[in-house]
Amino acid sequence: MSETARGTRILVVDDEPFIVETLRFALEKAGYVCLVAYDGEEALRIAREENPDLIVLDIMLPKLNGFQVCRMLKFDERYRHIPIVMLTARAQERDRLLGKETGADDYLTKPFEFPELLRVIARHLPA
């Protein structure tokens, strides 16, 4: 476990339980504390209540999509500091651009390699 990871809280948001549990297992193994949400409304509520250190956010979600969640958090002074890494199957350039426009700090597409996700997460957290 890296010293950077210890106690760092990451909110994982995806509507597919298998993906959530896979990410939770791997992130906890790397030393992170995981919070989880399965839809956009739940993600927004947990982000506002828990103020996580980073959010891994899918785009295609029930209730509110990932772009909406990202926009609502990034345009709120209280939460704009939280890095958001979009992790999605939407790989088109216009989706990447929309992610940037809504405030995402990084954008990864599925399928992904877990070491790459860990590098991206580490890049957005204080050393």
Q: What is the pTM of this model?
A: 0.94
Q: How confident is the model at residue 1 (pLDDT cuts 50, 70, 90)?
A: very low
* Model pLDDT for residues 68-125, shown as the tens digit of each residue: 999 999 999 999 999 999 999 988 999 999 999 999 999 999 999 999 999 999 999 9
Residue 85 structure tokens: 């890494």
Its CATH architecture, for the domain 9-121, is 3-Layer(aba) Sandwich (3.40)
* Model pLDDT for residues 10-26, shown as the tens digit of each residue: 999 999 999 999 999 99
CB 12 within 8 A of CB 20: yes
Q: List, in order, residues 6 or more apart from 8 with CB less than 8 Å away.
A: 31, 32, 33, 53, 54, 125
Residue 6 structure tokens: 């210890």
CB 24 within 8 A of CB 12: yes
The torsion defined by the Cα of 114, 116, 118 and 119, in degrees rounded to 10, comes to 170
Per domain, the residue ranges of the chain are 9-121
Q: How confident is the model at residue 7 (pLDDT cuts 50, 70, 90)?
A: confident
Whose tokens are 């860990």? That residue is 118
